Structures are given as C-alpha cells and as structure tokens.
Copies of this chain bind each other. A is one copy, B any other.
Amino acid sequence: MTTDVRKIKTERDIQAAFLQLLVDKGFRQITVADVCGTALISRSTFYAHYLDKYDLLDQMVARYSALFAQRVSVRFQQMIDGEIDALVHSLLADMAENRHAIQILFTVHEPEADLKANFDQMLFKEWQTFIKEQPLEIKAPVDLIAAMGTNVQMTLIDWAVQHGEVSITAVSEAVDTIRKAVLLQITPAKKD
C-alpha cells in the first residue's frame, strides 16, 4: 500500500513550497527548479510525483474541489434555510486545515485549473436545479437569479477563507438580508 511516510512527506513539502512560491512570484514565474529548491527536493523526485507544474496545480485544485464537492449540497441547504451562523461555522471547521491553501489557490486562474471557478460552478448548478424545482412561475431568467445566489455564497466563502474565525453575528445578519432578497425572487413571500 501507499503507507510510506516518504511519499507523504515529499508531496507535503512540494505543495507547501508551491504555495509559498505562488505568493512570492505567481504561477507563471514558477519553475520546477524553484519548487525543488524551496522544498529541498531533488528534481528527479519531483517528476516521480508530478508530470510538471501544471499537473501539480491540477492535482491541488482537484483535491480541494473534491473536498468542496462533498459538502456542496449541505452548505447550499444551509444557505437556503438561512442557517448562516451554522454555515459559516461549519465552513470554517472544514477548512481549518486547508484555509491557507485555498486562500492562495483562489488567486490562481489558469484555463484548466481554477479553484474559485470550480467552486462557483458547483454552486451555480445547485442554484439552477433548486430554482427549477420551485412550484412558482418566475419572471426573471433562471440563470440570472442563480448567478445572484451563487455570488452571495461565493462572497461569503471568500470572506471566511480570508478572515478565518471571527465574531460572526454582524456577518450573518448582512448575508441574511441579501439572501432573503434573492429568495424573494423565486418563492412566495413568507414569514421566516
């Protein structure tokens, strides 16, 4: 099996070095030699783990995308139900380990690897299907409202990733107000 500590450690080191370099000089400027240098890793070892720097980025983006994918539905439901406190809280709990990496990867936008775009896309689909399930006839275009909802959520996620654990009540209220405004477009007015 893959229980060899060495593999885990070198991949850990490579990825940490990569994130560091993303901050320092940006993806385009990074060379494989750079990564190996700051990770204290041999170049031949790098190629034993990744095809090239694009593959490295891909794998990292894929990993965090998958992580997010596991929870999208839950988070989406929390948003719909107005459990903003719970949403922010569980978001931060999940990310406690990964916040740093996600924060950095959010700044990278490559055609084939864009974590923020992936998150966005997943949420957008959730909104689309949610809206279409609504019994009411709605006047505004589905995709417009879906985009609105997605943006509210992405903004919240971005904020959470940037700020980590902070007192949340003010945030919750602000998000909640906007959330209601969006939902009003697709559901009958009701008491919350």
Binding site for B on A (CB under 8 A): 5, 8-9, 40-42
Name the residue of chain B whose CB is nearest to the CB of A8: B40
A128, chain B: closest CB distance, angstroms: 44
A9 proximity list for chain B (CB < 8 A): 40
Residue of B nearest to A5 (CB): B40
Question: Measured between C-beta atoms, what is the minimum distance from A35 to chain B in Å?
Answer: 14
Distance between A109 CB and nearest chain B CB, rounded to angstroms: 33
Instruction: Report the nearest B residue to A42, measured CB to CB.
Output: B5
Q: Enumerate 5 A-B pairs (CB-CB under 8 Å) in ascending A order.
A: A5-B40, A5-B41, A5-B42, A8-B40, A9-B40
Residues of chain B within 8 A (CB-CB) of A8 are 40
By Cβ-Cβ distance, the 3 closest A-B pairs, closest first, are: A5-B40, A9-B40, A5-B42
> Whole-angstrom distance between the alpha carbons of A40 and B8 in the complex?
9
Chain B proximity of A15: nearest CB distance (Å) = 15
Distance from A33 Cβ to chain B, minimum over Cβ atoms (Å): 14
Chain B residues near A42 (CB-CB < 8 A): 5
Q: Which residues of B contact A40 (CB under 8 A)?
A: 5, 8-9
Minimum CB distance partner of A4 in chain B: B42
A42→B42 CA distance, assembly (Å): 20
A40 to B5 alpha-carbon distance, docked (Å) = 7
Provide the bound-state CA to CA distance between A9 and B39, in Å: 10
Chain B nearest CB from A105 CB (Å) reads 24
Which residues of B lie under 8 Å from residue A41 when comparing CB positions? 5
The interface residues of chain B lying within 8 Å CB-to-CB of A5 are: 40-42
Q: What CA separation (Å) do A43 and B42 show in the bound complex?
A: 24
Cα(A83)–Cα(B9), bound, Å:
47
CA distance A41 to B9 in the complex (A): 10
CB distance from A189 to the nearest CB of B (A): 57
* Identity of the chain B residue whose Cβ is nearest the Cβ of A9 in the assembled complex: B40
